[in-house]
Structure 1
Amino acid sequence: MDLESRVMELESRLAFQDDTIQALNDVLVTQQRSLDRLELQIAALIKRQEEMGGQGDDFVEDSRPPHY
Structure 2
Amino acid sequence: MTTAADIEARVVELETRLAFQEQAMAELSDALAGARLELARNDLLLRRALEELQASRPGVTADPADEPPPPHY
TM-score range, shorter chain: 0.7 to 0.9
User: Residue 50 of structure 2 is aligned with which of 41, 46, 57?
Assistant: 46
**Aligned counterparts of 1:44 and 1:26: Cα–Cα separation in 2:** 27
How many aligned positions are there?
55
TM-score by length of 1: 0.73
Aligned identity (percent) is 35
CA RMSD of aligned residues (A): 1.5
**Aligned counterparts of 2:59 and 2:31: Cα–Cα separation in 1:** 39
Runs of 4+ that moved beyond 3 A: none
- Report the 3-state secondary structure (helix = DSSP H, G, I; strand = E; otherwise coil) of the residue aligned with 1:37: helix
User: Residue 36 of structure 1 is aligned with which of 29, 36, 40?
Assistant: 40
Name the structure, 1 or 2, with higher relative contact order (CA <8 Å, separation 6+).
Answer: 2
